[in-house]
């Protein structure tokens, strides 16, 4: 069994064929999917999907790309006691697309860190060109916070820092790309007990389907590539990463 720990099935990309997409995922041994919220509308859609599909779970948060759009962190409190809301996020910092609103990004991220402490929920953290800043915001709470640095895009030294915080590293489709040597080094050097597998659907589609819409079933190719790099059986990679996801998101076995 495989758990896709990061997918945006609440986007309109899946409005016409979600049941078909989930059926394909099950055939690829993907049995559970975390549907990721990014702002109020997608948070509500993630919860609705989780309520109507047993295999789906929701996270709620404010993505750094939405901090200027009148997003109220207090609103997240309305969702955090829901039994299928398993984490806060996608939250964090993104200095690739925007640097002019760094203070606002940090303020919104800090408020979500505080909610995670109060509600004892893991964080799903987005860091694009911003790992160092996000790391230093989480560091004061080492031992009190848990979560995942989603779609990890920094280097192996930063990956070790994340693991030292007690966080997981999220590995996605780019691990299958031919020239992604840095990510392959991270997978090689970081113990599998600190790794989660993700798709970030509909984005970052792995080879052999790069260029097409991504789907949770493609988590299989992430698992297979990790197994190849680590010289392990893919079933063992699936077993360990699934157990990691269950522990982080407090998901019971069926």
- pLDDT at residue 97, rounded to an integer: 82
- pLDDT at residue 238, rounded to an integer: 98
Measured CA to CA, the distance from residue 187 to residue 165 in angstroms comes to: 18
- pLDDT at residue 152, rounded to an integer: 96
What tokens were used for 251? Answer: 């998901």
Query: What is the band of 157 on the pLDDT scale with cuts at 50, 70, 90?
Result: very high
pLDDT digits (tens, 9 = 90+) for 75-102: 999 999 999 999 999 999 999 888 889 9
- pLDDT at residue 34, rounded to an integer: 98
Residue 114 has pLDDT above 90, yes or no: yes
| Domain boundaries of the chain, sorted by first residue | 2-249
pLDDT digits (tens, 9 = 90+) for 12-55: 999 999 999 999 999 999 999 999 999 999 999 999 999 999 99
Tell me the helix, strand and coil percentages in the chain, rounded to 5. 45, 20, 35
* 2-249 maps to CATH 3.20.20.140: yes
The pTM score is 0.97
Measured CA to CA, the distance from residue 29 to residue 10 in angstroms comes to: 21
CA angle 216, 221, 225 (to 5 degrees): 140
Residue 254 has pLDDT above 80, yes or no: no
Measured CA to CA, the distance from residue 164 to residue 138 in angstroms comes to: 11
**Element (H or E) spanning 102, and its range?**
helix 102-119
% the chain with pLDDT above 90: 94
% the chain with pLDDT above 70: 100
**Element (H or E) spanning 168, and its range?**
strand 168-171
Residue with tokens 């945006």: 8
φ and ψ at 72, to 5 degrees?
-105, 115
Residue 69 has pLDDT above 80, yes or no: no
């Amino acid at each position: 069994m495989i758990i896709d720990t990061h997918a945006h099935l609440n986007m309109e990309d899946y409005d016409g064929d979600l049941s078909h997409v989930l059926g394909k995922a099950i055939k690829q041994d993907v049995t559970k999917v975390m549907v990721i919220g990014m702002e109020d509308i997608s948070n509500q859609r993630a919860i609705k999907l989780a309520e109507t599909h047993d295999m789906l779970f929701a996270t709620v948060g404010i993505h750094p790309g939405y901090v200027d759009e009148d997003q109220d962190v207090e609103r997240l409190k309305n969702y955090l006691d829901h039994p299928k809301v398993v984490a806060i996020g996608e939250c964090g910092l993104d200095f690739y697309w925007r640097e002019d609103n760094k203070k606002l990004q940090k303020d919104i991220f800090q408020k979500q860190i505080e909610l995670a402490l109060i509600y004892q929920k893991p964080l799903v953290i987005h860091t694009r060109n911003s790992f160092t800043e996000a790391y230093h915001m989480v560091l004061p709470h080492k031992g009190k916070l848990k979560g995942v640095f989603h779609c990890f895009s920094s280097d192996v030294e930063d990956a070790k820092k994340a693991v030292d915080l007690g966080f997981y590293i999220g590995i996605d489709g780019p691990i299958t790309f031919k020239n992604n040597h840095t990510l392959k080094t991270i997978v090689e050097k970081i113990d599998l007990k600190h790794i989660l597998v993700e798709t970030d659907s509909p984005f970052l589609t792995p080879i052999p389907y790069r260029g097409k819409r991504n789907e949770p079933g493609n988590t299989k190719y992430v698992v297979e590539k990790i197994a190849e790099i680590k010289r392990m059986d893919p079933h063992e990679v699936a077993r360990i990463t699934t157990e990691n996801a269950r522990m982080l998101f407090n998901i019971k076995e069926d």
